[in-house]
Structure 1
Amino acid sequence: MTLTVLGGLIYYSSLKTRHKELIKSKIYYSLNLVDSEWKKELIKDKVVFTSPTFVISGIYKSMEGPKSDIYPTIDDSKEELLWLTSFKTRAFSDSETTEISNDFVCHTNFEYRDAEHYNRWGFTERINEHYPRITSISNGIESFQLPKGYGFPVYSNERIVLNAQALNHNITDSTFNIKHKIEIGFKRHANTKLKPLRSQTIYIMLPFDKKNPYAGPTDKIPDACIPVETKLHTYYDENNNPLSGHWIVPPGKHEYSFNASKQLAIKDSIRIHQITPHLHPFAETFSLLNKTTGEVIYNCDSENFVNKIGLKSAPTFQSEEGIWLYKNNTYELTLTVKNTTSKNQEMMASMAIFYYDKEMQEKIDEHIN
């Protein structure tokens, strides 16, 4: 018994922070030490989900803190078309009555279930075409609304996916409990006819040596990154070379770029109406460029806190008129980071884009009054 306990402790101590938190949360919830259940409240034109309790007991960089998933419907009492129009996450004390700093919001991911969502419309060719994320909001970008007249269509009894994760960059001297309240604003198609948007995520990926992933830049791969880990957020190019979407940033100022044309996979043209960035602290500027024309499509000048670690704001892009992107043009993501600490930090950089969905509009016109 003693050897088993000792072995378990040795194994636990060897884990990364994010994996330790999964084990700790499972113990808290299994023993009913904290609230383990999600709550849902449907209020006219919005639905509010309250997360289980997250126990904050240490420093959690992005993607390291306690987290929880849920697969809810918005209103399963009936089936009707809804338009998702806004997304918001706030941090609360575990009493659910006192709003606290959003420093404790790592991210909320909003996703649709690929097969269920597209089978309802007869869009079977779209299944597995893109990662099924509606959008993501995160530290510094805790809420946004889609442009007036537009929405993301889902059915009221269609299951979606919510993923909430806690963050703590600064507090080291106490243990405390928090919750997240997640609001999705929507309009009912019976009352309001909107134009459909389709969502897609594009993100910076950097190369690394698969034989020696933590070597960093070499003569062979001068632009190699150091991945945070290779089990998550590792992708492969057409030549089976590994790329990481989650990498280490050393102290100082750094610039990164990535050709996002293949990720966009534009068949003819698309008209973008909304862009929401996902960044980690120390990011300064994040841009989407049309390299063919020289046009800056979107530039996010993020603001970091001065007296603590964290993103204060990262502006989104919103346009009723929209901006056109074309098949034969080249599109590049660029990022500048200034790590003002003396330690390595972690970075991700993605954009959740929404563009007009003409094919979905045709389906709605054909099948729904």
Structure 2
Amino acid sequence: MYYTLNLVDSEWKKDLSKDKVVFTSPTFVISNIYKSMEGPKSDQYVVIDDSKEELLWLRSFKTNAVSSDEKRKLSNDFVCHTNFEYRDAEHYNRWNMTERINSQYPRITSISNGVEDFQLPDGFGFPVFSNERLFINAQALNHNITDSTFNIKHKIEIGFVKNSKKALIPLQPKTVFMMFPFDPENPYGGPTEQLPNACIPVETKNHTYIDTDGNPLSGHWIIKSGKHNYTYDTSAQLNIKDSIRLHQITSHLHPFANRFKLSDKTTGTVIYDCKSENFTDKIGLKNTPSFSSQKGIWMYEDHIYEMELEVDNTTDKDQEMMASMAIFYYDGEMQEKVNELKL
């Protein structure tokens, strides 16, 4: 109704400068408690600069909630997530790498509650063309305010550098995430003797996946009051061929997550130990640290990799949980393509 009657702004805006582009979302009307995936949202295909074609290296990602007049920065308690994605058919056709199309979900990365921004290691980037279409999904969040209705927007910033004779080192993104089984005949029943590792899904339409045996898994589940620990073998999701060199990890977590680890179970080493900080006077994540390394960490096809999540639901109500890692690793095939490129 607000948009139909033109009571609030319904258009995306773009502000391009020499080293960044800022996209401003339409107005989001906050009139209720909105947990993850429940708030007002907007999707948009965007182009950094459609006036020319040149190679750009995406280097940084940032989202801030602002007032509807765009003059005041607000708490990032109102940011559920911003998803940055490429269109894999367009992206890989431009590079003549068509074998990669539909090989994995084409997400570059995410910004979410507890993560306002991050930057790739110095000297590294994700290569796109200036006139290539990207996709942004922005959604609002509100865990705490119940006594008023107000409007916000999201300012979404992508930092980049232009290609030069000394090109950056290309990274390939991938998202890996925890998911657990549930009984499709009784999805909200919880663990059973047949499914001792079962979760209670938030719902069964979205974030439901099917394993190789045809069994449903949920990546969005309910946590009861108190402390809980979850582990998940992510080796299959990583799908490492021979080896990769990992350079960046940024987590997507929900409030009440305390610690999120990625470990090499074969060697017994912890690769990433994310100790997130929750607010103590309200619901929300205050800080979720990223992992970043110029040197990188080697990961191997024949090793077993595990994610471990520790949560503490300090309320007396059921809460929702998701846990994923947006990773970046060296892309040797893309390096060859960049070396051949003539622009």
Question: Does the alignment reach a TM-score above 0.5?
Answer: yes
Match of 1:48 among 22, 29, 45: 22
Secondary structure in 2 matching 1:71: strand
Task: Give the match's secondary structure for 1:99.
Answer: coil
| 1:251 has 2:251 as partner | no
Give me the identity figure in percent.
71
**CA-to-aligned-CA distance 1:46-67 (integer Å, 9 cap, x gap):** 0000000000001001111000
The alignment status of 1:294 with 2:252, answered yes or no, reads no
Superposition map of 1:38-117 within 5 A: 38-117=12-91
Q: 2:327 aligns with which of 330, 341, 353?
A: 353
Quote the Cα distance in structure 2 between the aligned partners of 1:191 and 1:271.
24
Deviation at 1:43, TM superposition (A): 1.1
1:191 positional shift: 6.7
Partner of 1:211: 185
For residues 349 and 220 of structure 1, what CA distance do their matches in structure 2 show? 24
Q: Runs of at least 4 residues of structure 1 off by over 4 A?
A: none
Q: How far has the Cα of 1:190 moved from its partner? A: 3.1
Q: Secondary structure at the match of 1:116?
A: helix
Say which of 328, 352, 360 aligns to 2:302.
328
Query: CA separation of 1:191/1:312 partners in 2, compared to 1, >3 Å: closer, same or farther?
Result: farther
How far off its partner does 1:300 sit? 0.3
Residue identity in the other structure for 1:33: L
**Residue of structure 2 equivalent to 1:9:** none
Cα offset for 1:252? 0.6
**Residue 312 (structure 1) aligns with:** 286
Bigger strand share: 2
Residue 87 of structure 1 deviates from its aligned partner by 0.2
In structure 1, C-alpha distance between the alignment counterparts of 2:91 and 2:47, rounded to whole Å:
12
| Structure 1: 5+ residue stretches without partners | 1-26
Q: For residues 77 and 314 of structure 1, what CA distance do their matches in structure 2 show?
A: 37
Distance 1:354 1:192 in 2: 21
Instruction: Look up the match of 1:339.
Output: 313
Specify the code of the residue in structure 2 equivalent to 1:198: Q
Q: What residue number does 1:179 align with?
A: 153
Secondary structure class of the residue paired with 1:218: coil
1:36-95 per-residue CA deviation (whole Å, 9 max, x = no partner) reads: 000000011000000000000010011110000110100111001000000000010000
- The aligned runs of 1:123-138 (5 Å cut-off) are 123-138=97-112
Matched, 1:273 2:243: no
Q: Does 1:32 align with 2:32?
A: no
| 1:367 Cα offset (Å) | 2.4
Structure 2 gaps of 5+ residues are none
SS in 1 for 2:326: strand
Letter in 2 for 1:67: K
- Pairwise CA RMSD of aligned residues? 0.8
Please report how far the alpha carbon of residue 149 of structure 1 lies from its aligned counterpart in structure 2 after TM superposition.
0.2
Deviation (angstroms), 1:322:
0.2
Cα shift readout 1:128-167 (whole Å, capped 9, x = no counterpart): 1110000001010110000000000000000000011101
User: Counterpart of 2:290 in structure 1: which amino acid?
Assistant: T
CA-CA distance at 1:192 after TM superposition: 5.3
Q: How far apart are the structure 1 equivalents of 2:271 and 2:75?
A: 32
